[in-house]
Amino acid sequence: LYLTRNRWSYLFPIPSYVYGRLPSSFSSDLESGLSSSHFDLSTNIEAGDSRQGLDQRGKVEVQSIMKSRKVGFDEARRIYTERTFAINNIGADGRPRDPKFVSFS
């Protein structure tokens, strides 16, 4: 199989996410394009933030949205947030869709 892999390997496409390593710190998140003027990671880096960076699952989703829809980071982050809201039964405006929800102002 190894010697003939060039003949049959194209039949089994390997997804791009298999080999792409995700950044694991704020500086590598910044270098990979997961930052913008509205979502600035440079302040975290300057402050010496020792956390691991952004959420791994969120990074995968945002990067896949950026690739598939050919949008920038801010738009991909908005789409990801709206999807997450919809899954958790929250409206696009941030209010719960639960009919029993009561809010006091």
Per residue of the chain (105 residues), give pLDDT as tens: 677 877 777 777 766 555 555 556 677 777 777 777 777 777 767 777 666 666 788 888 988 998 999 998 889 989 998 999 999 989 888 888 888 888 787
Beta carbons within 8 Å of 25's beta carbon, 6+ residues apart: 52, 53
Beta carbons within 8 Å of 68's beta carbon, 6+ residues apart: none
Q: What is the pLDDT of residue 18?
A: 54
Q: What is the pLDDT of residue 69?
A: 92
Residue 57 token pair: 């699952």
For residue 103, which amino acid is it?
S
Nearest CA to 76 out of 43, 32, 44, 13 is that of 32
